[in-house]
Amino acid sequence: MGLKVYFNGKLVDASEAHVSVYDHGLLYGDGVFEGIRSYNGLVFKLKEHADRLFESAHTLMIKIPLSKEELIQAVVATLKANKLTNAYIRLVITRGVGDLGLDPRKCSQPTVFIIADKIVLYPERIYKEGMEIITVPTPRNLPEALNPQIKSLNYLNNILAKIEAVNGGVEEALMLNPHGYVAECTGDNIFIVKKGTLITPPAYVGILKGITRGCVMELAGSARIPVKEQMMTRHDLFNAEECFLTGTAAEIAPVVRIDGRVIGEGRPGKVTLRLMRDFRRITKTAGVRYR
Ligand code: PMP
């Protein structure tokens, strides 16, 4: 038996879950999504992901045809149907089926689907030794044009940056904002440690306000590690004691080299390791239980 996918209100076999070629999610990237994880039978930060999804949809004027609670229950039902204890969940809402024009008024019913599957992480080596990233030429979207706080299906800005990272021989790209300040990576937020303080760019620089980012800031607070949201240049990154990325899929990934400069001691630092440990603990004990 294959995976069950939640598709417009029903759990169907993955092989039966088909989106129309007239769906504006496909034709125009007109839709929103969330990547969520479950650990140990607990969905991590489900309410926060649902809140962000509803906010993204609200800005795009896509009316999600379920209440927040119904959506949460649909995620839980999908996980139960697939008997996965540790899963990666992809929750997608598109504008729905329309005609070949852009006009969203032609799309009468949003498409909703939820996939619960396994997750592919960065190689384990990265978590032990740290990763190398490079700054890429493609800047993060100008917030006035397309605000990165909207987690939309239109990821070409990030995909171009990812291509540039891969062309440069590394896994991940550092994206600056259009003014040259540090923004984020293609699917992860970025933090540094400087003089013992944890620093990350503020949302107004033009980033997705990551849920892992928020969680790490809270964990740092509990560990009495000072936290600041502050604009940063590449110079600030090069001269940091530690650097790491955060994201639902990546969790906390140490960075030890940026554009050829060694960061700190060139291996995952002690604040990073402490936060990785605290994060691992909280993911195993907090969340919405489904099995
Ligand atoms: N930035 C971008 C561009 C992302 O796509 C993501 C999610 N993959 C993140 C940051 C991290 O967000 P979260 O911690 O909510 O997964």
Assess whether 270 and 162 both reside in one domain: yes
Mean pLDDT for 33-47 is 96
Claim to verify: residue 269 and residue 175 sit in the same structural domain: yes
pTM here? 0.96
- For residue 148, CA distances in Å to 101, 230, 238, 261, 272 come to 25, 17, 25, 28, 26
Q: Do 146 and 189 reside in the same domain of the chain? A: yes
pLDDT of residue 2: 85
Residue 290 lies inside a defined structural domain of this protein: no
Task: Report the C-alpha gap between 118 and 35 in whole angstroms.
Answer: 12
Owning domain of residue 55: 4-117
Q: What is the pLDDT of residue 288?
A: 84
Q: Of 91, 117, 143, which marks where a domain is finished? A: 117
What rounded mean pLDDT belongs to the chain? 96
Residues 61 and 204 in one domain: no
What pLDDT is recorded for position 1? 62
- What is the distance in A from the centroid of ligand 1 to the CA of 104? 26
- Kindly state whether residues 258 and 130 are assigned to the same domain: yes
Ligand 1 geometric centre to CA of 212 (Å): 8
pLDDT per residue over 119-159, tens digit each? 877 889 999 999 999 999 999 999 999 999 999 999 999 99
Which residue ranges have their beta carbon within 6 Å of ligand 1? 35, 158, 184, 187-189, 208, 210-213, 246-249
Among 55, 187, 213, 204, residue whose Cα is nearest residue 142:
204
Taking CA atoms only, the protein residue closest to ligand 1 atom 3 is 187
Q: Which position among 63, 118, 128, 151 bears the catalytic label?
A: 151
pLDDT of residue 289: 87
pLDDT digits (tens, 9 = 90+) for 184-231: 999 999 999 999 999 999 999 999 999 999 999 999 999 999 999 999
